[in-house]
Chain A
């Protein structure tokens, strides 16, 4: 019961939070002069020469609160404007580019989280040993690598030097033509899943081959972060009484580390993992741009450099909502699985 009322309370709290997000985003919009804000409503070149009419029509000179409700009304109707850069509505663009990014997130998040946890555990278990020093040094290097540089180097080596071993984009030419053909049904637009569903293993392997470099680029940077967090959390855990007890009971070291220490040390890591997943789903701008991997990040990059205002706002809104929802899920998981989190303020 307690958990359910907590859940309901949190869901209600979402409303003011989301309103806050929308106000922030709308506030950002106010930083643009009316000319640029009017561009939000321009879907036609002919409108360009009548900017003043647009300003009048959409009340861009009206009081700010009035403009806010007009805009919010449009948002609730799913009208986020027209993304000129890609020639479709912003809503369509989000749904169009989301699957590619999801695919990237599905593959890189487990690597980042499991790899980070594994390395962090190893490092903590061998504190000040060779493994610890190597992984820590690796983490510092990985965390400090500029993504754009690392991605380009990977591309130059594995696509340039090794003549197309791991190519950019989402699919090779032949497979791209295949998935767009009438004989192939794109159920999810996640190529590897569609490949399996269509029983087309060439598509599955091809999409995996194209995922290698972007997934490595993302993993190297993020794994370092999780690894460091896991290591410190592990060290704290290893110094606790229950670990001492476990050791005193004569349990094998492997069991002490994996079952007693690691499980407890994982709680903060899981919290952060939620955000990492959300961040990747939100589009990894640089990685996707370098590999011409057309997901949300790629779209965000194109719209940002061309100041496609409606797309930028739509993207910001999507990101904001996604983060709020992820936050909720993480909090709920925390409440569910960490007995130290007390619900309702009472003493148990």
Chain B
């Protein structure tokens, strides 16, 4: 190398070294300047699936919709059983619990400038009943208002339009009334969900939505996914309006300058999709976002991070369950020979209560919550978890007990199980380490009881896992539930009603439980409801159709300049209600 070139290299290297040494030294210990003071930036994973409030059923969509649209009433602060008036300024429930009346506020305008009227309120709910997309939250309106399940179909034909339009009416003097089929206590909570966000009738019709006619009803009922007219556009009354949505990148909402309450504290709310954890973490550390989603496994890594405010151990209203399949498909590849011959299990294996109890007593909650959840969770006693109405903290719970497990396995199938042994595979969706650990704990503890017991755990891709669960192929499955509303009914129905989401896929069918659930929801008497839910918890405990694994707790991580966060599980956004947040020291 020529001396001149060497010299150039040396100078370049020297400059680099000086820069590397001096730059960090320039950083002072003072609080860093607040970045983007007028914008609230969120780094999270995933994005909305749709912006139609009548179709969206995922929290990422809800997160946007709750900023853009407003409901008649909403939960008060941190409460899920107290309410504040929003678009309604007065409301009442009739003595028989079957008529809900709302007085609609005057002088509220949609983002496009149209005035919000009681007719818009009526149209909002009718439009939703008309659209009735199967993957949508509309069942929550059908059940209380029409007393039927989730579909507008009767046999192969559509339910008469007049049935749908007669359950909500504008009555004189700006009042809107809902007529319920029977008393339904959580109806008021249902109206707080983003699916209760009021839309602009005129604007909807302009954009090709339901125009009130039979033909339009037939054309728009249960359309294909993402084919609904409001899929990509919004027009609400909320504190923010949609600026743009770049799919898989970000959603930008800007302040509604004509908002009927005080203006939003930020000119813009930007929700970014950042799936890579390290990037999200660095963005938070650099102040390039104000809130970042931190997965449970990364909580420890965030301990003591500078300039970060952490809200710890928030009680998430969720429940993770392990469900025994009562009618395993004979095509299942997880049940070995499919016989009780020591090399498999029969398809009705889990109809034997002793098997279910043997499995349940073999589960070690302490190890699971410590190892898989890093201590971030509690063992539930009933599907009615803490945070729901009618939660009872004094119910019995199972605990790991090898002796009792052995006793039940010895009694199962008249002693044949213990004598011949059995072989099966517990599947979990790959990548979900929490579920993997649960399967492994169960498998290890069961196998330790008898050398003839051969339980293994195997990963399945998520789509395949879901499809196999629906097809009854999995002998057991592990899934969770997050609330639609905060009433015991939402969880107990899912777990124990013959038509409940999880109960159906495990083919759990206890007519007594189903009848009790139906009685409870239509009872106007809180004491009676409490007694029934406690009774149902007792049935779940005795019959043991599944293992109640954990009710998780969660942390939230903000830049320390973000103030005003409080936790309400009803907010779709994990960072709370942006309208009440601030950026300041």
Contact = CB atoms under 8 A, between A and B. Distances in A.
Interface of A: 33, 35-36, 38-39, 43-46, 48-49, 51-52, 85-88, 96, 126, 129-131, 152, 155-156, 159-164, 167-169, 172-174, 176-177, 180-181, 289-292, 294, 299, 302, 305-309
B276 A290 contact: yes
B1 interface: yes
Contact of B134 (A44, A87, A292): A44
B163 to A, nearest CB: 22
Given A46-B134, A177-B268, A309-B463, A162 B243 contact: no
Interface in B271-297: 272, 274-276, 278-279, 282-283, 285-286, 288
B469 to A, nearest CB: 9
Nearest to B9: A134
Given A168-B282, A307-B464, A35 B471 contact: yes
B311 to A, nearest CB: 24
8 nearest CB pairs, A to B: A45-B135, A46-B134, A86-B248, A307-B461, A44-B225, A180-B244, A35-B467, A292-B279
Residue from B248, B286, B471 having most chain A Cβ neighbours under 10 A: B248
A9 B159 CA distance: 63
A7 B278 CA distance: 48
Interface string B40-64: 0100000111100000000000000
Contacts of A52: 471
B279 A96 contact: no
B282 A292 contact: no
Interface range, B side: 35 or more
Contacts of B470: 48-49, 51
15 contacts: A33-B464, A35-B467, A35-B468, A36-B463, A44-B225, A46-B135, A87-B48, A87-B49, A129-B1, A162-B24, A167-B286, A173-B288, A180-B244, A294-B248, A305-B431
Contacts of A130: 1
Nearest to B272: A169
A51 B246 CA distance: 32
A278 B308 CA distance: 43
Nearest to A97: B248
Contacts of B76: none
B462 interface: yes
A51 B471 contact: yes
A319 B274 CA distance: 25
B212 interface: no
Interface of B: 1, 23-24, 27, 36, 39, 41, 47-50, 134-135, 224-226, 243-244, 246-250, 252, 268, 270, 272, 274-276, 278-279, 282-283, 285-286, 288, 431, 461-464, 466-468, 470-471
A194 to B, nearest CB: 14
Given A87-B226, A177-B268, A307-B464, A290 B279 contact: yes
Nearest to B464: A36
A180 B243 contact: yes
A86 B278 CA distance: 21
Contacts of B39: 173
Given A35-B467, A35-B468, A294 B23 contact: no
A33 B461 CA distance: 12
A7 B36 CA distance: 56
A160 B279 contact: no
Given A38-B467, A177-B270, A307 B275 contact: no
A74 B463 CA distance: 22
Contacts of B49: 87
A129 B6 CA distance: 14
Contacts of A180: 243-244, 246, 252
A124 B224 CA distance: 63
Contact of A167 (B243, B249, B288): B288
A136 B268 CA distance: 51
A294 B249 contact: yes
A86 B49 CA distance: 8
A33 B332 CA distance: 13
A51 B224 contact: no
A39 B467 contact: yes
Nearest to B249: A294
Nearest to A43: B225
Residue from A46, A164, A292 having most chain B Cβ neighbours under 10 A: A292
Contacts of B274: 169, 292
B250 A176 contact: yes
Given A130-B1, A180-B243, 19 more contacts: A35-B464, A35-B468, A38-B467, A39-B467, A43-B225, A48-B467, A49-B470, A87-B47, A87-B48, A152-B278, A156-B278, A156-B282, A162-B23, A162-B24, A164-B286, A173-B39, A174-B36, A177-B252, A307-B462
